[in-house]
Amino acid sequence: MVLKILHISDDPLPDWRVEKSALSLKNKGNQVYFAGVKPSYNYNRKIFNKTFQLNWNPRTRYKIPHDWFKIKNQINKILDELRPDIVHTHNVFSAKLIQEVGEYPFIYDNHEYWSKYLVTQLENNFNMSNISIMINNPKVFIKTKMDNVVKKYSIKRWIKWELDLVSKVPTLVPSKTIATELSRLG
């Protein structure tokens, strides 16, 4: 039985993690497709049967309603055309998108153990050079303060998304340690 598998990412091709997975599936006789940011201009590998462009941007990752609605429309058009048997999401953003569409079975590929990475980013948000710049320039302080509030809120939201996905959706992880830790959730 030949399956149609749609890989979705908010990163462009080339991406060895996406390509390796797709190539493994293609070598077993399946049809593989990609939806994501437009591939780099010199990308010429013939792994995917077809690639579709999704206009990911920071506003879609922050789930700003207008932009989130636009990307949901884009993915719905792709899904209507393709009708995949399964969707392989390659990050928390694409997994959240497919989860909300809710029409197709999917797996979440948690390449980086996203929430741990984000917690590290949150903890490293301030460093001494940023603090001295902010003290000496009130406008920079206000902008940095607002940026940090938005980042902190977004990071907490993204961690919540990941934990929700892991508890409900088949999830691929890069190591046994991560699998053990996340298996406590789902």
Compute φ and ψ for 171, nearest 5 degrees. Answer: -125, 135
Better-predicted residue by pLDDT, 111 or 63: 63
Residue 150 has pLDDT above 80, yes or no: no
- What is the distance of C-alpha 180 from the center of its chain? 22
Better-predicted residue by pLDDT, 135 or 177: 177
pTM for the model stands at 0.81
Q: Are 94 and 79 in contact (CB under 8 A)?
A: no
Of 27-41, 64-78, 149-163, minimum mean pLDDT range:
149-163
Residue-wise pLDDT for 124-142, tens only, equals 554 444 544 444 454 444 4
pLDDT at 121: 55
